[in-house]
Amino acid sequence: MKDNFFGREYDIAPAGGETGQAFVATHEDEKFFLKRNSSPFLAALSVENIVPKLVWTRRVENGDVITAQKWVNCHILTREEMVGPRVAKLLAKIHHSENLRHMLEKIENCYFSAHQLLARLKAEMEAKNEANNVMQTAIEYLERNITAVEKADYVVCHGDVNHNNWIISEENELFLVDWDGAMLADAANDLGMILYQYIPREGWDEWLSNYGTTLTSELHRKLKWYTLCQTVMQLTTNQSEEAYERAKQIFQNAIEDDEV
């Protein structure tokens, strides 16, 4: 497939991914990563060097907005690499960035409290009629513990921090990509999904130290609460088999955590 941008004809090919909205555009020695209808928040992330550099944005005839980012030769982080301090430090940079928070809240109303997340989850489960015994146990836990997690400092959360969204360039730059689910919420939304998925329990203290915090009983409860809330939501929505199995395993790790 070919398309024209700024008077040049580019070869367009699918870039893979679960949404089918990403493409690779090449013209002679130029190469871009294209995404259809990315969040306007992408520009702020580019400035902060959280994602590969945004080169241009264009609205096409059908109304879609196409963004082009610098092509980065890279590798996707392995599960083992998620344990290292670089992931923790970049996530801390994102969570603690006032610029990113201000930019995201200007673009859209995307605050999500524990009460809002739980209400959305229950509505989704009711609509899909997905209330099996295990999920009902999780919902009861969420309802029973919501007062313990409702106090939050709202930060920019990515919302899907699995290892497939972390890349390292040939220049050794670490990026976190695919920000379509960005929201302002408790940092535990991101932290829990990493800890329960990749970090052995004995490594939590060190990983959180690299992030810049310590594991308290209050934080531990938040990690479990938000992880259960996210994974139950994922298990009730349509997604790939790989994503479903990933959510299922994380859910199991969190529901079996009886320390809180």
| Encoded amino acid at 200, one letter | P
Q: How far apart are CA 83 and CA 73, in angstroms?
A: 22
| Encoded amino acid at 106, one letter | K
8-state DSSP, 201? G
Look up 29 and say whether it is catalytic: no
Q: Which of 3, 11, 29, 160 is catalytic?
A: 160
Radius of gyration of the chain (CA): 19
> 162 and 193 in contact (C-beta within 8 Å)?
yes
Map residue 208 onto helix, strand or coil.
helix
- By CB atoms closer than 10 A (0-12, 13-18, 19+), residue 214 is exposed
- Residue written as tokens 């409860």? 221
Beta strands in the chain (DSSP E): 2-5, 8-14, 22-27, 30-36, 54-59, 65-70, 74-76, 155-157, 166-169, 174-176, 183-185
Q: How far apart are CA 34 and CA 15, in angstroms?
A: 8
Catalytic residues: 160
